[in-house]
Chains A and B, each alone.
Chain A
Amino acid sequence: MNEIQFETPDLLRHLEAMDEAELDTLSFGVIRMDRGGIVTAYNSTESQIAGLRREQALGKEFFIQVAPCANNYMVAQRYLDAPELDEFVDYVFTYIMRPTPVKLRLLQSAGSARYLIVQLATA
């Protein structure tokens, strides 16, 4: 699975086929949400980046209870605006108020889960 990278084309199809253990092998953060924004998977890389344990995120409304810093038109709103979504966004997360530059990839398609893919930005 290590050949799958942050920029891999067709990443959504790969992610849809992975279980939680496989998601944990990825070198970038993965948050899987249902259509209501509830976190259904939170991989270990994302847990390290955010400083948040998996169980603190699972079952929560991601953009309200876990990462309200992304609850705006630049990130959360994009999922509502575009049913077919594969976009790269340069962003700053505020994990425990720490400014953390990241690269995001927003993924969803009709019938799929929602994915927010996170990679730390290099300086």
Chain B
Amino acid sequence: MSVTPDDELLSFLYQIPDAVMRIAGDGEVQQINPAAVSLLLPLAGTARLDNAFDLLEQWVPDLRQRFAESTQPGPVIAAELVRTGSPYDRTLSFTMSRLDSQFGVISLHDVSEREELRRAVGREREDAAEARGMARNAAAVLHDVGNATSAIGTTVSLLFSDADWDEVRILKRLAHWLDREAEALDQVMGQQRAEAFVSLLAQLRDSLAHRQDRVEETARSLAQGVSHITDVLSIQRVSSAGGKLKSVEVDLRQVARDAVSLQQATLGKRQVEIELRLGAEPALVSGDVTRLIQLGVNLLRNAVEAYDEDRFADVQRTVTVAVDRVGNDACLQVTDRGCGFERLAPELFDETVSTKGRASGLGLAHCQQIAESHYGSLELVSPGTGLGATATLKIPLTR
């Protein structure tokens, strides 16, 4: 059977993926291609596609009027987006043209996927912009709160700057002097009055000394709170936009030296001796020097605090800091012989867990966060309570 030009035209119209209808002036559908049937039947809610205007005016207002008002062949409505809504929600690109004085053509292109993608990209952009804004706000808040906290810390430290209050010291001396001069005072004031005077002065001295104790206790508690806030801020800075790592090649041996030298004052005050064992070969890693020193300082503080309990008062307090290359890693180990622990190591990195009476647990959580941000690991092991502990930091060597 030969293929006629009509067959070819029909086949062409049948294969067009867009919906096409030829309509009369009143909207009656004269011709319709399969794509139009497939698209419009589910939307029509009826199996009659007799009149395009009746069917489409619910989504394209004034369709009948707009076609009637057009006089010349050509586009009447060009690629207008139409959303059909539920239950069969599609987005269609709608075009209507006048063919001649009697007929027109309507074409519909289903652009639901494209439009959904566009809406999704839009939403994603909005979400990303919102996230960027929130990160900026968070960084700004962290910075401001950090500054305010530093100021509070400085003020609190002033409370400790005077070992003794002048008023208390003077009163103590006065009470002591009056005690020695009791006889002379009796002669001047009479025994009864003198005793009353001395007693009153002693009460004043005791009351003021008690108040001094309370202020110092409050200040200690405040200092602890400030330290806690500082730890929280440090953790948040690492994960906020402002806490990006500034990676350079750094020798972990130098990090250990710097951390020890930064803690020198504390180590001296707490009578802790440092044993530094640094390998002969450089232990080069890629990392943020500030964060790594911060990690080293935290591990040292942790080791020093392990000696805080009274039972270690008369013990030789030693902390060993060792750095070496182990396989493909640079390895930093901090070992103490203090309180130790029985817990499972993973629990220790929980922000709410601490083996020490007054600590918050934030220090180790922070350390682990820094280790992980350097593609490294941090382990803490102890032979048991009272037997000390060893923290091991491993970061991949760069060479």
What residues of chain A have their CB less than 8 Å away from a CB belonging to chain B? 55-56, 68-72, 74, 90-94, 96-99, 101, 121
Contacts and interface: CB of A to CB of B under 8 A. Distances in A.
Contacts of A55: 1
A97 B33 CA distance: 6
Contact of A101 (B15, B34, B48): B48
A56 B3 CA distance: 11
Contacts of B1: 55-56
Contacts of B33: 69, 94, 97
Given A99-B29, A99-B32, A90 B47 contact: yes
Contacts of A97: 10, 13, 22, 31-33
B41 interface: yes
A69 B31 contact: no
B192 interface: no
A98 B28 CA distance: 11
A62 B33 CA distance: 16
Nearest to B47: A90
Contact of A92 (B13, B22, B48): B48
A94 B34 contact: yes
B38 A74 contact: yes
A71 B15 CA distance: 11
Contacts of A69: 14, 33-34, 37-38
Given A68-B15, A69-B14, A74-B41, A99 B34 contact: no
Contacts of A98: 30-32
Contacts of A99: 29, 31-32, 37, 49-50
Nearest to A103: B47
A90 B46 CA distance: 8
Interface residues of chain B: helix, strand, loop or mixed (majority) = mixed
Contact of B38 (A56, A72, A90, A121): A72
B43 to A, nearest CB: 12
A31 B37 CA distance: 20
A91 B31 contact: no
A53 B311 CA distance: 107
B10 to A, nearest CB: 6
A68 B48 contact: no
A97 B11 CA distance: 10
A92 B37 contact: yes
A97 to B, nearest CB: 4
A55 B2 CA distance: 12
Indicate the member of B13, B33, B38 with the most A CB atoms within 10 Å.
B38
Indicate the member of B10, B13, B22, B37 with the most A CB atoms within 10 Å.
B37
Contacts of A121: 47-48
The 9 closest A-B pairs by CB, nearest first: A90-B47, A69-B34, A97-B31, A72-B38, A99-B32, A99-B29, A92-B49, A68-B34, A68-B14
Given A55-B1, A68-B34, A92 B10 contact: no
Contacts of B13: 97
28 contacts: A55-B1, A56-B1, A68-B14, A68-B15, A68-B34, A69-B14, A69-B33, A69-B38, A71-B34, A72-B34, A74-B38, A74-B42, A90-B46, A90-B47, A91-B41, A94-B31, A94-B32, A96-B10, A97-B22, A97-B31, A97-B33, A98-B30, A99-B29, A99-B49, A101-B47, A101-B48, A101-B50, A121-B47
Interface string B137-179: 0000000000000000000000000000000000000000000
Contacts of A91: 37, 41, 47
Contacts of A92: 32, 37, 41, 47-49
A70 B41 CA distance: 11
Interface in B38-56: 38, 41-42, 46-50
A70 B49 CA distance: 15
A74 B39 CA distance: 11
A18 to B, nearest CB: 26
Contacts of B14: 68-69, 94
Given A69-B37, A99-B49, A101-B47, 8 more contacts: A74-B42, A91-B47, A92-B37, A94-B33, A96-B10, A97-B31, A97-B32, A99-B31
